[in-house]
Amino acid sequence: MSNFTDFFPAAAGGGGGGIPKYQDFTSSGTFTPTQALIDKGGRVSYFIVGGGEKGRFWSGYGAFGGAGGQVKMGYATVTNTTGCAVTIGAGGSSSEGADGGNSSVAFNSAGGTAVTASGGSGEAGAGNGSYPGGYVYSGTSSRMKASSAHSGVLGYGAGGSGYENATSIAAGVSGGPANSGFGGTRYSDGASGFVRITWHE
């Protein structure tokens, strides 16, 4: 529990730790550490989601939902107030099965270590550490297999469904809200990534 007092300094000796501050990014921008953050040790937590992959339909073989973007959670320590570039990976859209873009935070600009979450790739496979989409296999015998998309992490980075209908949408495996890293359904684009940075001053 050595990190507890980093985020809740009041527990270590009174004085009030305050309410955590956070900054969300749904488009690329800059995170600039404050001097107050540096004075408190410069420790931040991050939640980074890559862009989701676009789904694919292969005539005669089946439909594949796109893989969700990778989700990374952890801590970084910054040592100065230099701005850190935040990149939000775009959802795959250029063609069927297009990969999602990587999301990243350049903490190294402020003395920390850069962190990148990969965009979704590999469709129904596990590609690049991302979450696989579901699939529907038809083939010459018209066999069907239920979608098995991964549900993601805390609602982010879920795999898209091979189906594209109201049932799969209600189940939460067919695309998803904007900027959540969801993989697309068999015909739809992937969703863009997301970054949240949290700290105390």
Average pLDDT over residues 95-109: 93
DSSP string, 64-97: EPPPBPPEEEEEEE--S---EEEEPPPPP-SSTT
pLDDT of 99 over the 70 cut:
yes
pTM of the model: 0.79
Residue 87: name the closest of 32, 46, 25, 28 by CA. 28
Which range, of 49-58, 68-77, 116-125, 147-156, averages the lowest pLDDT?
147-156
Confidence of residue 84 (pLDDT cuts 50, 70, 90): very high
pLDDT of 164 over the 70 cut:
no
3-state secondary structure of 29: strand
172 or 44, which is more confident: 44
125-141 pLDDT per residue, tens:
433 445 667 666 554 44
Would you state the pLDDT for residue 17?
55
pLDDT of 146 over the 60 cut:
no
